[in-house]
C-alpha cells in the first residue's frame, strides 16, 4: 500500500516492487512549499540498497518487459496516459506547492502525459510488432548473394537510470521513461529533491493503475549519490541538471572505463535572434516580445530552454527593452499560485532563489545593467489574496539586463536559472551568428524574421551550435508550440554546454536505449533473426507446394517467405498505345519510336511503369473474397530495366513482413514484389502493402 505522499514525513521510494521509506525520516533533507516555506516532507535514501534496485531492474524488469513487443509496450503507454489524464487535478494540487501556476503545471503534467500518448502512437506506427529493429538495407557481401550483412537494434541488457531536474518533476520523468519503456529497458527514476514529492505522487498513481509490468519503473526519492557505482556497460544513465553535476558524473570511473552510456542535458544560454526586418509594428516584433516574456515568466524562468540571451539589432535594443517591460507590467502578477489571478509563481526553493540572485549580482558586476525589474524582495499576492513581501517564499521579480559590450563573457556563460534574460545588440547578421555561438552550445534558439534569406543565413549559421532552432514569423506565431517547449517528435538536447545528449526525438530516442549490432550471414539466417524475409532467402511457392494461393491465407496462417510466381505475359505495342490513350499518359517514350530511341535510357517505345504495376496486380491477384482486405500502398518502387514493346514479364510476390495489429482484427503484410523480363533481368522492385484479416 502506498503511503500518502502529501501527508507523510518522508517521500517514499518505490523499489523492488514495494514502497520503501527510510527508518529515520528525521535525518532527511527537508523539502518546503516554495511559496510559504512550510516544511512538506523529508527526503532520504539512507539505508536504501541501490545495487539491489539496479539488480531488480536488470532481472525482473528486463524479464517482464522482454515478454512484450514494441506494439504491446506502446499500447501500455497509451493506457497509462489515459489513466493519468483522469488523475490530473490531484497532481495540480500537489504541483502548486512547487511554486508552479496552473499553466506551469499543465506544461509539466499534461506535457508529460502527452509524451506518453505520442510514444504510444509512434511505437505502433513506426516500429515493428516484434522486439528487433532492422536499421537500413541489407548489404550483399558475396558475389553469389549467400553472404550478406545488415544492422539490427536490440535493447540494452541493463537499466536506464534517469536523474531528473527539479523544474519539471513530471514531464522530466515521463519524457525519459517513455522511450526507455518502449525500447524494453527498465527505468530507475531519480527526481530532484526539491520537487520529488510530485514525481512520487505520479508514480503512486502509476503503481495503483497496475498497467506497467513489474520492475519496469522504480523510483528513488532522495540523494542516491552512489547510483552510478552500481551501473556498468549494460546500463544507461540519462541526466538532466547542472553542467557541474553532469561533469562530475561523467568523470565517474564506471563511465570513463566501465562503459556506462551517459547522456546529459544541462543548462544552456539559449538565444533568440530578432531579424533586422522585424522592426516595431511588424507581427514578428510582437511575436518576439511575447516569446521573450513567456520564456522569462513561465515556471518563473526555471526552464533549461528559456531565452537567456535576446540578440537584437543594435538600433532596436531600447525598443525591445521597453516592449518587454511593458508586456511584463501588463501581464505578470507575481504570487502564490493558489491565489486568484497569479500568473507567475515562486522559484522552486530559497536555495534556488539565492543561486539566481548570486548569478545576477555576478552579471551586474561584469557590466550588465538592470534594464527592467528589481533585486529587492518583491511584493506578491499571497494565497489568501493579500499583498506583501513573503520572507519564506522564493519569489523574484522578472529581470531584464542590458549590456553595453555584447562581447562580455559573463552574458554568454553565466546562467541565472530564473526569470532573467539579457538583451544584447548586434550590428550585422554575421555578428548575430557569432554572438549566438558564444554560448558554447545550447538546447534551442529562436530566429524571428519574415525574410527567407535572413532565416536561411541565420539558421544555417547557428544550427550546429544548437539542438533545435525555431523559426518564428507571422505565419506560425499563433500555431507555434513556442521556443521553450521541446516536442516528443523532435530532438531535445544540444551540443557543448547543453550536454551533448539527445532526449526525445521520436523513435530516435527509443533507439538510444538499444544497441546497434552488425549481423552477417546468409539471407536465410538474416531472415530468421529479424523476422523479415530477405531477398535470397528460401521461398515457399504455396500454390505449387500446398495448392493454396498466399492471398487465401489468413494472417495467422501466412508465413514470411510464402510466395507466388505468375506466368510470363507479353506486352505488345498495341497494349502500350492503348494504355497511353486510356490514361492520357502519351509521354514520347511510349508513343514516338524515333524520339524514344534517341533517349539514352530506352531501346525504343517502352511500356509505362504504371502499366507494369497494373498488369503485375492482374498477374498476382487472387480475386475471390478472402482474408486480404485492402492494398494500402506501395513502397520503395524502382523501375530498373525498361520493358520494350514485345518483351514479356512475370511477377514474384513474397510475404516479407507480417505485422499483427494488437487491437484490430487484421494486420499488415508487406509483400516483396519483383518483376523480371523473359531474360530474368529485374524490371521493377517494390513492396506491396496490404491489410490481411487475422
- Taking CB under 6 A as the criterion, the residue among 10, 95, 105, 240 binding ligand NDP is 240
Which residues 6+ apart lie within 8 Å of 365 measured at CB?
none
Order the strands of the 399-403 sheet from edge to edge: 368-372, 399-403, 420-426, 309-313, 271-274, 442-448, 466-472
Q: Is 448 part of the annotated catalytic residue set? A: no
**61/158 Cα distance (integer angstroms):** 9
Q: Tell whether residue 241 is a contact of ligand NDP (CB under 6 A).
A: yes
For ligand NDP, give the closer residue by CB, 409 or 570. Answer: 409
Q: For residue 74, which of 132, 133, 134, 117 has the smallest C-alpha distance? A: 117
* Piece of 234-242, 321-329, 360-368, 563-571 that binds ligand NDP (CB under 6 A): 234-242
Closest distance between ligand NDP and the C-beta of residue 416, in Å?
8
**121/674 Cα distance (integer angstroms):** 32
Closest distance between ligand NDP and the C-beta of residue 200, in Å?
13
Closest distance between ligand NDP and the C-beta of residue 371, in Å?
22
Closest distance between ligand NDP and the C-beta of residue 112, in Å?
14
For ligand NDP, give the closer residue by CB, 492 or 513. Answer: 492
- Taking CB under 6 A as the criterion, the residue among 121, 242, 322, 524 binding ligand NDP is 242
Secondary structure element (H or E) that encloses residue 295, with its range:
helix 283-297
Q: For residue 263, which of 248, 245, 252, 250 has the smallest C-alpha distance? A: 250
Footprint on residues 110-169 left by ligand NDP (CB under 6 A): 163-167
Site string for ligand NDP, 405-444 (x = CB under 6 A): ----------x-x---------------------------
Q: Tell whether residue 235 is a contact of ligand NDP (CB under 6 A).
A: no
Q: Binding-site residue total for ligand NDP (CB under 6 A)?
A: 25
The DSSP code sequence of 318-360 is HHHHHHHHHHHHHH--BB-TTSTT--B---S-HHHHHHHHHHH
Q: Which three cell numbers stand for residue 210?
A: 497496475
Identify the DSSP state of 141. -
- Taking CB under 6 A as the criterion, the residue among 108, 150, 175, 265 binding ligand NDP is 265
Closest distance between ligand NDP and the C-beta of residue 337, in Å?
19
Closest distance between ligand NDP and the C-beta of residue 487, in Å?
16
Site string for ligand NDP, 340-369 (x = CB under 6 A): ---------------x--------------
For ligand NDP, give the closer residue by CB, 284 or 415. Answer: 415
* Piece of 86-94, 242-250, 273-281, 429-437 that binds ligand NDP (CB under 6 A): 242-250
For ligand NDP, give the closer residue by CB, 165 or 447. Answer: 165
For ligand NDP, give the closer residue by CB, 270 or 530. Answer: 270
Q: What 3-state class would DSSP assign to 121?
A: helix
Q: Is 304 part of the annotated catalytic residue set? A: yes
Footprint on residues 172-231 left by ligand NDP (CB under 6 A): 190, 192-193, 223-225, 227
Contact yes or no for 441/268 (Cβ under 8 A): yes
Neighbours of 388 (CB within 10 A): 10
Closest distance between ligand NDP and the C-beta of residue 237, in Å?
9
Secondary structure element (H or E) that encloses residue 634, with its range:
strand 628-639
- Which residue(s) pair with 381 in the sheet? 335, 387
115, 129, 174, 212 from 119: Cα distances, Å: 6, 14, 11, 15
> Of residues 265, 284, 415, 668, which has the active-site annotation?
265
Q: Tell whether residue 267 is a contact of ligand NDP (CB under 6 A).
A: yes
> Of residues 295, 304, 415, 503, which has the active-site annotation?
304
Distance in angstroms between the alpha carbons of the first and the last residue of the chain: 41
Contact yes or no for 327/86 (Cβ under 8 A): no
**572/577 Cα distance (integer angstroms):** 9
Q: For residue 314, which of 363, 279, 349, 354 has the smallest C-alpha distance? A: 279
- Active centre residues (catalytic): 265, 304
Can you give the binding site for ligand NDP, defined by CB under 6 A? 163-167, 190, 192-193, 223-225, 227, 240-242, 245, 248-249, 265-267, 304, 355, 415, 417
Amino acid at each position: 500500500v502506498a503511503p500518502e505522499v502529501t501527508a507523510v514525513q518522508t517521500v517514499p521510494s518505490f523499489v523492488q516492487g514495494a514502497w520503501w521509506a527510510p527508518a529515520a525520516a528525521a535525518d532527511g533533507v527537508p523539502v518546503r512549499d516554495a511559496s510559504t516555506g512550510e516544511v512538506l516532507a523529508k527526503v532520504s535514501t539512507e539505508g536504501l540498497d541501490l545495487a539491489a534496485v539496479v539488480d531488480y531492474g536488470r532481472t525482473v524488469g528486463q524479464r517482464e518487459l522482454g515478454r512484450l513487443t514494441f506494439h504491446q509496450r506502446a499500447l501500455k503507454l497509451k493506457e497509462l496516459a489515459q489513466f493519468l489524464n483522469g488523475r490530473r487535478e490531484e497532481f495540480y494540487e500537489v504541483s502548486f506547492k512547487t511554486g508552479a501556476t496552473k499553466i506551469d503545471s499543465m506544461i509539466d503534467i499534461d506535457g508529460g502525459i502527452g509524451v506518453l500518448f505520442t510514444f504510444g502512437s509512434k511505437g505502433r506506427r513506426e516500429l515493428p510488432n516484434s522486439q528487433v529493429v532492422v536499421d537500413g538495407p541489407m548489404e550483399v557481401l558475396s558475389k553469389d548473394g549467400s553472404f550478406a550483412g545488415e544492422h539490427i537494434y536490440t535493447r540494452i541488457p541493463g537499466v536506464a537510470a534517469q536523474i531528473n531536474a527539479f523544474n519539471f518533476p513530471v514531464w522530466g520523468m515521463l519524457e525519459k521513461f517513455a522511450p526507455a519503456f518502449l525500447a524494453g529497458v527498465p527505468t530507475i527514476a531519480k527526481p530532484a529533491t526539491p520537487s520529488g514529492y510530485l514525481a512520487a505522487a505520479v508514480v503512486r498513481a502509476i503503481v495503483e493503475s497496475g498497467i506497467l509490468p513489474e520492475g519496469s519503473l522504480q523510483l528513488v526519492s532522495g540523494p542516491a549519490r552512489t547510483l552510478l557505482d552500481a551501473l556498468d556497460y549494460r546500463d544507461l544513465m540519462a541526466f538532466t541538471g547542472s553542467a557541474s553535476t553532469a561533469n562530475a558524473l561523467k568523470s565517474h570511473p564506471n563511465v570513463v572505463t566501465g562503459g556506462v552510456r551517459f547522456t546529459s542535458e544541462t543548462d544552456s544560454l539559449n538565444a533568440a535572434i530578432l531579424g533586422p526586418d522585424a522592426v516595431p509594428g511588424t507581427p514578428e516584433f510582437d511575436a518576439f516580445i511575447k516569446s521573450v516574456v513567456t520564456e522569462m515568466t513561465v515556471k518563473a524562468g526555471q526552464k533549461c530552454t528559456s531565452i537567456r540571451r535576446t540578440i537584437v539589432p543594435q538600433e532596436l535594443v531600447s525598443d525591445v527593452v521597453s516592449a518587454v517591460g511593458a508586456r511584463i507590467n501588463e501581464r505578470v502578477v507575481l504570487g502564490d499560485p493558489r491565489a486568484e489571478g497569479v500568473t507567475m509563481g515562486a522559484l522552486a526553493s530559497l536555495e534556488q532563489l539565492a543561486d539566481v540572485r548570486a548569478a545576477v549580482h555576478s552579471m551586474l558586476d561584469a557590466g550588465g545593467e538592470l534594464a527592467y525589474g528589481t533585486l529587492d524582495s518583491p511584493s506578491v499576492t499571497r494565497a489568501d489574496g493579500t499583498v506583501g513581501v513573503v520572507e519564506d517564499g522564493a519569489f523574484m521579480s522578472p529581470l531584464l539586463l542590458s549590456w553595453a559590450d555584447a562581447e562580455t563573457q559573463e552574458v554568454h556563460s553565466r546562467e541565472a536559472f530564473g526569470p532573467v534574460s539579457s538583451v544584447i545588440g548586434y550590428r550585422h547578421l554575421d555578428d548575430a551568428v557569432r554572438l549566438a555561438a558564444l554560448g558554447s552550445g545550447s538546447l534551442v534558439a529562436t530566429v524571428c524574421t519574415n525574410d527567407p534569406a535572413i532565416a536561411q543565413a541565420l539558421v544555417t549559421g547557428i544550427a550546429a551550435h544548437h539542438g533545435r532552432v525555431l523559426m518564428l514569423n507571422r505565419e506560425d506565431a499563433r500555431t507555434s508550440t513556442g521556443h521553450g517547449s521541446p516536442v516528443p517528435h523532435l530532438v531535445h538536447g544540444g551540443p557543448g554546454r547543453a550536454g551533448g545528449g539527445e532526449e526525445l526525438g521520436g523513435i530516435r530516442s527509443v533507439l538510444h536505449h538499444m544497441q546497434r549490432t552488425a549481423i552477417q550471414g546468409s539471407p536465410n539466417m538474416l531472415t530468421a533473426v529479424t523476422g523479415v524475409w530477405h531477398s535470397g532467402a528460401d521461398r515457399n511457392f504455396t500454390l505449387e507446394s500446398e495448392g493454396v494461393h498466399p492471398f487465401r491465407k489468413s494472417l495467422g496462417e501466412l508465413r514470411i517467405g510464402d510466395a507466388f510466381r505468375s506466368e510470363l505475359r507479353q506486352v505488345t505495342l498495341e497494349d502500350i498505345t492503348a494504355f497511353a490513350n486510356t490514361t492520357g499518359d502519351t509521354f514520347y517514350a511510349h508513343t514516338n519510336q524515333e524520339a524514344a530511341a534517341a533517349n539514352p535510357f530506352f531501346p525504343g517505345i517502352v511500356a509505362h511503369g504504371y502499366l507494369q504495376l497494373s498488369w503485375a496486380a492482374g498477374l498476382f491477384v487472387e480475386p475471390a473474397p478472402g482474408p486480404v482486405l485492402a492494398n494500402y500502398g506501395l513502397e520503395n518502387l524502382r523501375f530498373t530495366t525498361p520493358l520494350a514493346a514485345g518483351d514479356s514479364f512475370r511477377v514474384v510476390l513474397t510475404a516479407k513482413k507480417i505485422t499483427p495489429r494488437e487491437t484490430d482484427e487484421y494486420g499488415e503484410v508487406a509483400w516483396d514484389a519483383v518483376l523480371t523480363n523473359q531474360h530474368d533481368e529485374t524490371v521493377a522492385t517494390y513492396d506491396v502493402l496490404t491489410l490481411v484479416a487475422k
